[in-house]
Amino acid sequence: MSTLLPAIEFRVNGASQLIHVSPMKRLLDVLREDLQLTGTKEGCGEGECGSCSVRMDGELVNSCMVPVVQAQGACIETVEGLACDAELHPLQKAFLDFGGAQCGICTPGMLMAATQLLAQNPHPSLAEIREGLAGNLCRCTGFIRIFDSVIEAMAANTNHATRQGGDAR
C-alpha cells in the first residue's frame, strides 16, 4: 500500500481546493477537518439523519457516505456558501423568521436539502417538500415550521424572479 496521500482537487463554494488526503477519508471529515468548514455536521455516520448533507455537482448527497476520492473534480456546495457576505439567503432568513430552526444542528443539512429541492422544483407542493426533506431528521421542530419556512422562501424566490423581469407564466 502506498504511503503517499493522493491529491484531490475540487471546488468548494466556488473556491478551488487541492489537498493531499487518504482516498477513503469521508468527504464530511475533509470538509470539517482539512478545510475547517464545520457547518456540515455528523449526526449518525450512516446516511440516515442528513445533517451532513451537501450538494455535489448539483445533487444532494450525504457527505458521510462519500469517500473523498469520488469528489475528485466535483463542485461542492456547503451551508457556508449560501449566504452572500452579510446578506442571508432567503431560505436562511425564512428559517430564522418562521421558527424553522430551534437548536440549529439539523439546519445546515436542512438548508442544503431545501436548496436542492427549490433548485429542481421552484414551486413544490407540500407533499413534494415533505419528500424533499424526508432524508433530514429534525428532533426539535416536528418539521411543521420547516415546511412553513420553505414555503415562505419559495414565495420570496418567486417575487425575486418576477422582479428580475420574468415574463411568461
Least distance in angstroms from the C-beta of 31 to other proteins: 10
Strands (E), the chain: 7-12, 15-20, 53-56, 59-62, 75-77
Q: Is the CB of 75 or the CB of 151 nearer to other proteins?
A: 75
Least distance in angstroms from the C-beta of 127 to other proteins: 9
Note the maximum CA span of the chain: 59
Look up cell 429534525; give the residue.
138
Q: Is the CB of 19 or the CB of 135 nearer to other proteins?
A: 135
Least distance in angstroms from the C-beta of 95 to other proteins: 9
Least distance in angstroms from the C-beta of 96 to other proteins: 9
Strand 53-56: give its sheet, edge to edge: 15-20, 7-12, 75-77, 53-56, 59-62
**Long-range CB contacts (< 8 A, 24+ apart) of 120-128?**
122/154, 122/157, 122/158, 122/161, 123/154, 123/158, 124/150, 124/154, 126/151
**Non-local CB neighbours of 73 within 8 Å, separated by 6+ positions:** 9, 10
Least distance in angstroms from the C-beta of 16 to other proteins: 14
